[in-house]
Amino acid sequence: MAKDSHPDQKPNFLVIVADDLGFSDIGAFGGEIETPHLDKLARAGLRLTDFHSAPACSPTRAMLMTGTDPHIAGIGTMAELLTPQLADKPGYEGYLNQQVAALPELLGDAGYLTLMAGKWHLGMTLETSPYARGFQRSFALLPGAANHYASSPKAGTGFPRQDTLYTEDDHYVDLPEDFYSSDGFTSRLISFLDERDDREKPFFAYLAFSAPHWPLQAPDHLIAKYRGRYDEGPEVLRSERIAKLQAQGLCPADVVPHPIVARNKPWEELSDEERARSARAMEVYAAMVERIDWNVGRLLERLEETGELDNTVVLFMSDNGAEGTLIEAVPVFGPYLMSFIAENYDNRLENLGRPNSYIWYGPRWAQAATAPSRLHKMHATEGGIRVVSFLTWQGFARQKEIGHAFITAMDVMPTLLELAGIAHPAPSYKGRSVAPMRGLSLMPYLQAETEYVHAADEAMGWELLGGQGIRQGNWKGVFVPGPDGPARWQLYDLSTDPGETHDLSDTFPEKKAELMALWDRYVEETGVIQLHR
């Protein structure tokens, strides 16, 4: 077991979440984007190849902050996508409900300083803000997305009014004119750390980037660095990324990637202008990822200067698979958003990526980043829920390793509570009933006492907007609604088919029936409202 150089101190916690980052976007996970700070940190720690989120951002953040299923915590679906069928149902409140005890609440009660900067997406009011759920200092973007620059057009993008987007502690705030999301969030978190009165008090710092979520916007000089890099298209990039993943031992050498599923035209059918615009979108995306890395470097440098980095557990993760949705085709966004963009933004090729442009990169680039897995964000397939993640701390036995154990975002809170010496208060907390955690502590695995976190007979479920998944060991059942899937349950053995390419439903009908029984139990335990069966 590795030794902690601060045996009398509780560890600090730094949790960094990127928004819609692809599995292979950073260098330490096979990417070509320049991410030296993240790469160094990842390679020093434990790179996780089987870490799972929810299919989308706010449900994952609920898992992270509560250690339980998002349908229990109030985020059974994203608040922006609540339908009449789901609205007002238990577990579908659209904010972190009172049936859970939040991680910052418990850490704060135990003497931790709790700090947050970045995207919240777990409540749109002051009463459901980070400050109301245990963060003693917070600077937060409340909704799921916003322009990354303060100088962007300020309203009408299908999201709430600009003056209710951001909070600092218990009040709404406006942005400074020079604000860029990744820079602004990191600077604010650093300032919270600098302003501490008691440096002996352990801290929990949560840095939740809103990048590289659309709209894709980044500094000009970084975009220029990637000019021409993606001119061969997403299929070529996909092949390059898979080869690098294999070379680093991050996916099997004999893996069969899932075929690309997309309703937009393939690269070879695009005109020269369409290719130029598509490649430029990917260039902007790469610049956003590099800027995340630069900001992580700034934060790590400050912790090194204060002598606190060695005793800080660092978790880095994405909140879901890469974003491959054709936003223009989504009813809640599409028609209104497209007309607003046409009227208020400048999406000429030479302006793409600037504050007054508004673009996304689509399913083909996304599947370059999720490969060899199937599909992308919003799906319970591996491409939607298997995400880039690593843990680094000198107190862990597993260092400079690649870990292949199945892990979920619900396991983070139990792990941090164990490291802090805190027992979860279920069944009650401060006079209210609260649900127990469904996640498990990673500590036996991180200290090399076991080779797994979840036993082979344990079942894990996912659901979002009718997309469904159930996993037990390496067996997985998945339901992908149309048009991206067959709208029926399929069966896969992930040990031999991580790309979910060979449906075994007819070969192993008894195993499929077992998983369907486990699915029914998951629905009953979590309160999932089934949209498909």
DSSP strand pairing (475-479 vs 137-141): unpaired
Selecting among 57, 213, 251, 258, the annotated active-site residue is 57
Backbone angles phi, psi at 192, to 5 degrees: -60, -40
List Cα–Cα distances, 356 to 129, 175, 333, 353, in angstroms. Answer: 28, 16, 18, 8
In 3D space, the residue among 363, 398, 383 whose CA is nearest the CA of residue 494 turns out to be: 383
Q: What angle do CA 385, 455, 12 make, to 5 degrees?
A: 65
Distance separating alpha carbons of residues 219 and 222, to the nearest angstrom = 6
Backbone angles phi, psi at 237, to 5 degrees: -60, -40
The per-residue b/e assignment along 463-492, b for 16 or more CB within 10 angstroms, e otherwise, is: bbbbbbbbbbbebbbbbbbeebbeeebbbb
Q: What angle do CA 69, 392, 33 make, to 5 degrees?
A: 90
Count other C-beta atoms under 10 Å from residue 160's C-beta: 14
Selecting among 37, 121, 148, 213, the annotated active-site residue is 121
Cβ proximity of 44 and 59 under 8 Å: no
Distance separating alpha carbons of residues 28 and 45, to the nearest angstrom = 11
Residue 121 appears among annotated catalytic residues: yes
Residue entry with tokens 């609440």: 105
User: What does the block give as tokens for 429?
Assistant: 């907390």
SS3 label, residue 510: helix
> What Rg, from alpha-carbon coordinates, does the chain have?
22
In 3D space, the residue among 368, 361, 218, 365 whose CA is nearest the CA of residue 277 turns out to be: 361
Distance separating alpha carbons of residues 219 and 240, to the nearest angstrom = 26
Distance separating alpha carbons of residues 67 and 61, to the nearest angstrom = 10
User: What does the block give as tokens for 396?
Assistant: 């862990």
- Across 252-360, the runs of DSSP E, i.e. the strands, are 312-318
Distance separating alpha carbons of residues 327 and 308, to the nearest angstrom = 42
List Cα–Cα distances, 231 to 227, 228, 287, 362, 366, in angstroms. Answer: 9, 5, 16, 16, 16
- Positions marked active-site: 57, 121
